[in-house]
Structure formats: structure tokens, C-alpha cells
Amino acid sequence: MTASAWALPSLPRQFNDPLASQDPSDVIGDPLKFDIHNLTFQSLTGNALQIDIRFNYGGGATLAGFLNSNGAVTLNVGDLFLIGGGQTYAFILNGHNGLQTNGLYSITGRQTAQTVLGNPSGINYRPNSLVWANASGATFLSNGSKSVNVVGGPTELLVSLTLNLTPGALANLDNGFDFYFAAATCGNDEIYGTVSGVPEPGAWALMGAGLAGLGMLRRRG
């Protein structure tokens, strides 16, 4: 698959978090652990799509799990979701439940913050946020890679991902796609948008009831 097969005209594209000023209605909890600044789709070389995410993550540059402020639950980095051509894909930033780090998967099920964390009490989080792919029904497509650079203190990171798209994924995403990413499995901050074109009718409906009404998920003022 060559670069000429990629028809999207709109790269690079950067999506800024509309409330990146760390408004408390945007980030639930400590902004230095959860705030998403922006997400950039950089380029496609052959079948490799580069995505840069600048965000704060409490586990630091290793993207390791870390305890929330109450020490009650372990929080982990979220997965990156892409949807196009009626298919949902997930890129795994840090492995979990049999899904491998830097793997690109075709998926049929998603997990909410409540599912992953077991609905804990006394924690600031958005329980209905989609945060992880479900390993059940997931099909591994290809290996990718990531690099992590600290850009502003130990928790402000620039994570550069390389997704090696299979011919089927490339065809499904080629006419535009939606994306969604939560900084951590508590859903404390989220970013989402559409790369080129008009979203498919009902595209996010495929992501399940947890993503219905994205505006409510963010609880923006």
C-alpha cells in the first residue's frame, strides 16, 4: 500500500482541547495528571499514520499505572479509538487484558471507566467515558510504535504514535474518520473530533451507549 492510496487531503491536522486552560469543568481532578492539550495527525508515509498527543499523565513518561489521590484504585492510560467505514479501531498505548502495547486492533467492544475501575466511590471520574478496548472480539491487525518525551515537568508528555494501517483499515479510514481519546481510565479529560469530511451517520452510535451525548461527558459549562 503506497502513500498515493491515502486520499485524505487535510493532514496535518491539530485538534486543541477547547478548555486546555485547565478549566475545572474540563478536567476532573488534578490537571497536572490528566489534562489533554492537543492531538495532531501528522502524516501518512506508505501505510503509516503518525499521531502526536500532548497531555498530562500521572504515571509519567513510562505511561505506567498509578494510584489515584485517595490510593483507592490504579489508573492507567487510555486507548486511542478511530472509527471509519463502519469499523472501530483501537491503538493500545499500554498493554492490558491481553491487548499488546503499540498494537492496532479491530474491535467490537469497549470498556467504560466504570467497567475498568469497578465503579469506585470517592473518586472524581466520568464513569460513562469510553477508556479501553475490550479484548473480547478484538482482532490484532499490526504492530506500531510510540516515543514519549517530557515537555513540561514530569507528567506533561508528548507521545508520538506510529500506526501501521492494514489495507482494510486504510480503506475504511480513507474517506474521513472520527477519533476519541481519554487521558486515563478514569475519563478525567477527553478529546475527540473528525478528520476530514462529514462523520458517518450514527458513527458514534457504534461506540455504545457510553459515548452517547459526548457533550455531557465533558460537562462543559
> Each residue of 164-209: pLDDT tens digit?
999 999 999 988 999 999 999 999 999 999 997 544 444 444 444 4
Distances (CA, A) of 126 to 22, 63, 95: 16, 20, 22
Report the share of the chain in percent with pLDDT over 90. 63
Residue 5 is predicted with a pLDDT of 55
Joined together, the cell numbers standing for residue 51 give: 499521531
Residue 154 is predicted with a pLDDT of 87
| pLDDT tier for residue 20 given thresholds of 50, 70 and 90 | low
Cβ within 8 Å of residue 213, ≥6 positions away: none
Of the listed ranges 22-26, 100-104, 132-136, 148-152, the least confidently predicted one is 22-26
Cell 517530557 locates to: 150
Contact 138, 172 (CB under 8 A): no
Distance between CA atoms of 21 and 16, rounded to whole angstroms? 11
Contact 139, 99 (CB under 8 A): no
Cell 457510553 locates to: 210
pTM score above 0.75: yes
Residue 44 is predicted with a pLDDT of 83
Distance between CA atoms of 20 and 28, rounded to whole angstroms? 13
Q: Phi and psi for 169 in degrees, rounded to 5? A: -65, -40
> Each residue of 79-134: pLDDT tens digit?
999 999 999 999 999 999 999 999 999 999 999 999 999 988 777 889 999 999 99
Report the share of the chain in percent with pLDDT over 70. 81
Cell 478525567 locates to: 188
Residue 85 is predicted with a pLDDT of 92
For 125-160, b/e burial (b = at least 16 CB within 10 A) is: bbbbbbbbbbeeebeebbebebebeeeeeebbbbbb
Cα first-last separation, the chain: 45
Distance between CA atoms of 55 and 183, rounded to whole angstroms? 7
CA quadruple 212, 213, 217, 221: dihedral, nearest 10: 180
Mean pLDDT value across the chain: 84
Q: Could you state, in order of their start, the residue ranges of all structural domains in the chain?
A: 3-16+29-210
66 pLDDT above the threshold of 70: yes
Angle CA 37–50–39, to nearest 5: 15
